[in-house]
Chains A and B, each alone.
Chain A
Amino acid sequence: MQAKTLYDKLWEDHVVRTDEDGTALLYIDRQLVHEVTSPQAFEGLRLAGRKPRRVDANLATPDHNVPTKNLDQGISDPVSRLQVETLGENCDEFGITEFGMGDIRQGIVHVIGPEQGAVLPGMTVVCGDSHTSTHGALGTLAFGIGTSEVEHVLATQCLIQKKSKSMLIEVVGKASPSVTAKDIILAIIGEIGTAGGTGYAIEFGGSAIRDLSVEGRMTLCNMAIEAGARAGFIAVDEKTIDYVKGRPYAPSADQWRQAADYWKTLHSDDGATFDKVVRIDAAALVPQVTWGTSPEMVVGIDASVPDPDIIDDAVRADGMRRALEYMGLEANTPINAIQLDKIFIGSCTNSRIEDLRAAAEVVKDHSVADSITLAMVVPGSGLVKQQAEEEGLDAVFLEAGFEWREPGCSMCLAMNADRLEAGERCASTSNRNFEGRQGQGGRTHLVSPAMAAAAAIYGHFVDVREL
């Protein structure tokens, strides 16, 4: 039998039919739905007089627009409110399960999917959201789609797809304890670039990936899209299966064994070949900080802001100059000399319980620096928040001067009231440092939760390895 990659297996298990030119109809097991990219899809269904093919395959929650404080007052912005209400009405009309505002299970789609066991190994998972790649951490084929495709999945439970090329990114060796999944993925993007994965589905492997917890793997796969990849995923192992066990939507007793046996086959076979292989040495990695307006503009905490004047490629140098100007940074400034205004710990990249624990450990018995105007923690879901409170993490943050907020996307993209003002500089655990992402004129530096927490205490970036 020919050796197969994990991607081959996931793909072949979901092909309904294939045309001669390789265009396939791919079956989708799970669709996650949020308020921003779904209204036009439901509207399309209604206009065509169509019904969802399988309501049980969909799970919805509002996340992008929800406020992170004073929830009892509802959403004050009428346009945001209408969008969230529209999701509720559409779910009611079509019979789709929704964890609405006020439900303890509400949260960021990419946090609640795995948390509920609604995402299981071996599934195809889609959402009208680019960070759907997150779910690849569980050994799924998961990718973001546009609204027309959301409608297509609702109506047909399938998507028209062509198979991507395959890439293996092997992270070998052992990472230092303060080098997290976030640092690994930022370093990978720095290495291959934001278009480095375009046209590929990326499997992450190697000892440093196996060493990561399942939540760490989600952080990693979450940002596969920032490397341009169609999807990012990781082979199933015992950790994956343990993670899934007992979750509300996970298979129960009689089907558990059958499912787990199948899941254990979800890895690339020995001798399977990839179109491209990239090797990264984990032992050489240090905590990462982005300095520019693209995730590939990243360096280690011990480095300085790079100098466009020594770059030969004119388009690239030009992009760097533009980024430095937007970021208000001088070339050759040491990263640890960069002063921050705000700190954001949250987003589908880093808002799970382990992220909050890592940040709290750094914050414990310290206070937020006076120069920081706002430091906020936004848990990824109501259940993450509850768990953190049971562990007393909220008290650690509050005593240090952080704000402890309600779950949602929040200042990851500033669609609700949480945002940067023009010129403000933020250490953020989110995934995008694009111009205006966290508020028009706002300046974002992407870091791990521990690095963000340390920056809150010192008022500037510091190397968490030295704390």
Chain B
Amino acid sequence: MEKFSPFAGVVCPLDRANVDTDAIIPKQFLKSIKRSGFGPNLFDEWRYLDHGEPGMDNSKRHTNPDFVLNDARYRGASILLARENFGCGSSREHAPWALADYGFRVIIAPGYADIFYNNCFKNSILPVVLDAEIVDGLFNKAGDDTALHIDVDLEQQQLRVGDEVIGFEVDPFRKHCLLEGLDDIGLTLQHVDAIDAYEERRRRQTPWLFA
């Protein structure tokens, strides 16, 4: 995984609560057996006026001018600003794959659904949790004529918005993995002795689980 280093990005404000993973990447695109290439279909049903199917040439489709991703101000955005319970619904990791493929590296919201939150960290996306009032304030700024830029520093756990510094919490283990670009499987395999010992004990205690 890529190491998560400090960067400055444009904020795209998606002003809806309970955005579910079906909306982030509709089911027809889940038929792919690859991990990449989902970006052009991120938020497909909101982003385009016609119905999207895998394999279509998206440059020829009718885009929805009212959807934020199509607003010229937010072109090249790498920070997604969202409302409560972002990423609810289906466990599909295609949702963070699509967000990352599009270029989003940070999401800011008052809260996330559990599985989605987990999935973000596996894909070098940092989901930042901030109080609803702070998020509200950011929405006000992000709606201005000129796009809002935020500096993201995970090491310091800080967002810098102009002169303002906003701190955020993040689990130390997950922070470490993001900063170092560590692969979970490799980390876990360092404990293979502990797994062996556990299995041996369970084989005795609950033999029916090893039939």
Binding site for B on A (CB under 8 A): 16-17, 19, 21, 23, 25, 27, 29, 36-37, 39-40, 43, 48, 50, 53, 56, 64-65, 77, 79-80, 82-83, 86, 120, 122-123, 128-130, 132, 143-149, 151-152, 155-158, 160, 162, 194-195, 198-199, 228-230, 249-251, 255, 258-259, 262, 294, 315-316, 319, 322, 413-415, 432, 434-437, 440
Binding site for A on B (CB under 8 A): 16-18, 20, 22-23, 26-28, 30-35, 45, 51, 54-55, 83-85, 88-93, 96, 111-115, 118-119, 122-123, 171-173, 184-185, 187-189, 191-192, 194-195, 198-199, 202, 206-211
Extra contacts besides A156-B188, A251-B208 (20): CB < 8 Å: A25-B188, A27-B198, A36-B31, A43-B35, A120-B209, A123-B209, A129-B91, A130-B115, A132-B91, A145-B115, A145-B118, A146-B92, A152-B185, A195-B18, A249-B211, A251-B211, A413-B27, A413-B90, A432-B20, A437-B22
Task: Closest B residue to A197 by CB, please name it.
Answer: B114
> Using Cβ atoms and an 8 Å threshold, which residues of chain B touch A432?
20, 22, 89-90
Contact A434 B23 (CB under 8 A): yes
> Using Cβ atoms and an 8 Å threshold, which residues of chain B touch A435?
22-23, 45
Residue contacts A-B, CB under 8 angstroms, 7 given: A21-B171, A56-B211, A228-B114, A249-B211, A255-B211, A258-B207, A434-B22
Contact A194 B122 (CB under 8 A): no
> Using Cβ atoms and an 8 Å threshold, which residues of chain B touch A16?
191, 194-195, 198
> Using Cβ atoms and an 8 Å threshold, which residues of chain B touch A132?
91
Task: Closest B residue to A296 by CB, please name it.
Answer: B18
The residue among B32, B90, B189 with the most chain A CB atoms within 10 A of its own CB is: B90
Among candidates A48, A160, A259, residue contacting B208 with C-beta atoms closer than 8 Å: A259
Contact B27 A130 (CB under 8 A): no
Among candidates B33, B93, B209, residue contacting A43 with C-beta atoms closer than 8 Å: B33
Name the distance in Å between B116's Cβ and chain A's nearest Cβ: 8
> Using Cβ atoms and an 8 Å threshold, which residues of chain B touch A251?
208, 211
Known contacts A36-B30, A434-B23: does B113 contact A198 (CB below 8 Å)?
A: yes
Among candidates A148, A155, A160, A228, residue contacting B93 with C-beta atoms closer than 8 Å: A148
Contact B22 A436 (CB under 8 A): yes
> Using Cβ atoms and an 8 Å threshold, which residues of chain B touch A144?
91, 115
> Using Cβ atoms and an 8 Å threshold, which residues of chain A touch B114?
198-199, 228-230
A162 to B85, CA, bound (A): 20
> Using Cβ atoms and an 8 Å threshold, which residues of chain B touch A27?
195, 198-199, 202
Contact A25 B85 (CB under 8 A): no
> Using Cβ atoms and an 8 Å threshold, which residues of chain A touch B171?
21, 23, 162
Q: Which 5 A-B pairs have the closest CB atoms?
A: A251-B208, A146-B93, A39-B33, A148-B122, A146-B119
A229 to B113, CA, bound (A): 9
Contact A19 B173 (CB under 8 A): yes
The residue among B23, B51, B91, B208 with the most chain A CB atoms within 10 A of its own CB is: B91
Known contacts A146-B118, A148-B123: does B23 contact A37 (CB below 8 Å)?
A: no
Contact B22 A83 (CB under 8 A): no
A160 to B172, CA, bound (A): 14
Contact B115 A146 (CB under 8 A): yes
Known contacts A16-B195, A156-B188, A315-B83: does B119 contact A148 (CB below 8 Å)?
A: yes
> Using Cβ atoms and an 8 Å threshold, which residues of chain B touch A198?
85, 111-114
> Using Cβ atoms and an 8 Å threshold, which residues of chain A touch B26?
436, 440
Name the distance in Å between A444's Cβ and chain B's nearest Cβ: 11
Task: Closest A residue to B118 by CB, please name it.
Answer: A146
> Using Cβ atoms and an 8 Å threshold, which residues of chain A touch B189?
155-156
> Using Cβ atoms and an 8 Å threshold, which residues of chain B touch A316?
17
Among candidates B27, B85, B90, residue contacting A194 with C-beta atoms closer than 8 Å: B85
Contact A156 B185 (CB under 8 A): yes
Known contacts A83-B31, A414-B27: does B91 contact A145 (CB below 8 Å)?
A: yes
Name the distance in Å between B182's Cβ and chain A's nearest Cβ: 11
> Using Cβ atoms and an 8 Å threshold, which residues of chain A touch B83?
315
Contact B33 A25 (CB under 8 A): no
Contact B23 A50 (CB under 8 A): no
Known contacts A39-B33, A251-B211, A435-B45: does B93 contact A158 (CB below 8 Å)?
A: no
A147 to B54, CA, bound (A): 20
A285 to B30, CA, bound (A): 37
Known contacts A83-B33, A162-B171: does B194 contact A319 (CB below 8 Å)?
A: no
> Using Cβ atoms and an 8 Å threshold, which residues of chain B touch A143?
115
Contact B173 A23 (CB under 8 A): yes
Contact A152 B188 (CB under 8 A): yes
Task: Closest A residue to B90 by CB, please name it.
Answer: A130
Name the distance in Å between B96's Cβ and chain A's nearest Cβ: 8
Known contacts A37-B92, A148-B93: does B115 contact A25 (CB below 8 Å)?
A: no
Task: Closest A residue to B120 by CB, please name it.
Answer: A146
> Using Cβ atoms and an 8 Å threshold, which residues of chain A touch B195?
16, 25, 27, 53, 156-158
Contact A195 B85 (CB under 8 A): yes
Contact A228 B51 (CB under 8 A): no
Name the distance in Å between B90's Cβ and chain A's nearest Cβ: 5
The residue among B26, B32, B92, B208 with the most chain A CB atoms within 10 A of its own CB is: B208
Contact A415 B27 (CB under 8 A): yes
Contact B206 A146 (CB under 8 A): no
Contact A25 B191 (CB under 8 A): yes
